[in-house]
Structure 1
Amino acid sequence: MQASMNQIVTLDKDTWGLLRNVLVEHQLVKGDLLLKPGQVCKHIFFLQTGLLRSFYLTDGEERNVAFTLENSFVTDMKSLRSGQPAQLSIQALESSTLQSIPKADLLGLYERSHHLEAFGRRLLENLLEEQEEYAAWFTLYSARERYNRLVKKQPDLVQRVSLGHLASFLGIRRETLSRIRKLK
């Protein structure tokens, strides 16, 4: 986790010690929900091992909007910031180990450490940038182009996620994704 955080903001030993004191470890098995609709998101999570998906349930259909691979952060920014119940679900697609940072503790640490405050700001900026990039895909690119970009950007993800989940993430039917993959 420290190496991933240092890619965002370099933390000295003392600052890292402050943060380590508030971390909470979580173990999930495949299928477990980390966040359910109606819950208020009160943590930022760091995925050490495993694979997660973030999705909405719309008219009885799951719509994947993100996948989280090892050494990455995930949260429901809207619920975390506003304190409103989440609409987003976060689920383990593989057995996973996570560390969480409770929002209340993180806010206290921001007051004690400029480095942690900068980390929090940059982390949320990075997460927002990822969401904006995903949203832009649907305006700028065809289904085939979205798939090709995903293969280039995250080739491991394409190998680890089911065809149905990938199709949902790309905003296409499973049959369409099968045809696109055959064209490669």
Structure 2
Amino acid sequence: MTKPTLFENITEVSEDVRNFFISKLEEIQAEKGYKLETAGEVSKYLYYIAEGSARSFYIRENRDITVSFSLEGEFVTAMHSFITRSPSYETIETLEKSLLYRISYNDLQECFKKFPDLERVYRMILEKYYIALEEQMIFSKFKSARERYLELMEKKPKIIQRASVGHIASFLDMTIETLSRVRAKI
């Protein structure tokens, strides 16, 4: 089993810490459309995407609304549910065949107890998550449709290639027709 390079940019943890954490990971080979987390259920795992991509969405008034996209090298979970141990508002599914590693909530807590240094790493992951969430909120509220699409092209160009037009339009908070008009003018 190929182990992910989760700590390649984090030098503050020892080899023992890395090895213990990695020993708790479970490898998942998922086909397109595989549900990592399901709305209404408590999120049990924190996932690391080694290969592939995923999207987070919820259903409102029979509309599928994409909240976020995650790519290789990123962590994904229904964060509110994972932290609070309450049912999730969102569903997370793979956009393509993907290789993921997951750690259960309980195993993660065990890692923190045994190696408190890991809490700092986890905090860094949460900070990245929070920044992305805040940027998305600003992104959707204050930018034009064209600006939102251009920013997606700049920050996550792989999404343009991997996600469906409907998922991209939903994420950008526009109709497929508006997205088509924006694309035609670029």
When normalised by structure 2's length, the TM-score is: 0.93
* 1:42 has 2:44 as partner: yes
Q: Which moved more, 1:9-18 or 1:143-152?
A: 9-18
1:27 is aligned with what amino acid? Q
**Alignment RMSD (CA, Å):** 1.4
Does structure 1 retain, via aligned residues, the 8 Å contact 2:4–2:50?
no
Structure 1 runs, 4 residues or longer, greater than 2 Å off? 1-12
**What amino acid is aligned across from residue 90 of structure 1 in structure 2?**
I
How much has 1:45 moved relative to structure 2?
0.4
The offset of 1:11, in angstroms, is 2.8
- Structure 1, 87-96 or 6-15: larger mean CA deviation: 6-15
Q: Per-residue CA shift, 1:73-122, capped at 9, x if unaligned?
A: 10111101111111100011101111011111111211222321111111
Distance change (3 Å), C-alpha of 1:145 and 1:110: same
Following the alignment from structure 1 to structure 2, what is the Cα–Cα distance between the partners of residues 8 and 56?
A: 33
- Per the alignment, residue 80 of structure 2 pairs with 78
Q: Is the 2:145–2:172 Cα contact (8 Å) retained in structure 1?
A: yes
Paired amino acid for 1:7: N
Give 1:140 deviation, angstroms: 1.9
Counting only pairs closer than 5 Å after superposition, residues 118-137 of structure 1 correspond to structure 2 as 118-137=120-139
- Mind listing any 5+ residue stretches in structure 1 that lack a counterpart? none
Shift of 1:8: 4.8
CA deviations on 1:24-72 (whole Å, 9 max, x unpaired) are: 1112111121111111102110011111110011111100011111121
- The counterpart of 1:67, out of the listed 61, 69, 80, is 69
- The one-letter code matched in structure 2 to 1:32 is Y
Cα offset, 1:2, TM superposition: 5.1
Aligned partner of 1:91 in structure 2 is 93
Question: What does residue 164 of structure 1 align with?
Answer: 166
Residue ranges of structure 2 left out of the alignment (5+ in a row): none
Q: Percent of pairs identical after alignment?
A: 35
Deviations 1:143-182 (A, max 9, x none): 1101011111111211221111110000000000000001
| Inter-partner Cα distance in structure 2 for 1:116 and 1:147 | 36
Q: TM-score, normalised by structure 1?
A: 0.94
Determine if contact 1:9/1:118 at 8 Å carries over to the other structure.
Answer: no
Equivalence for 2:155: 153
What CA distance in whole angstroms lies between the structure 2 residues aligned with 1:34 and 1:110? 23
Task: Name the counterpart of 2:183.
Answer: 181
Note closer, same or farther for the CA distance 1:123–1:8 as it changes in structure 2 (3 Å cut). Answer: farther
2:115 to 113, 117, 129: 113
SS at match of 1:5: coil
Cα offset, 1:3, TM superposition? 3.5
Q: How many residues align?
A: 184
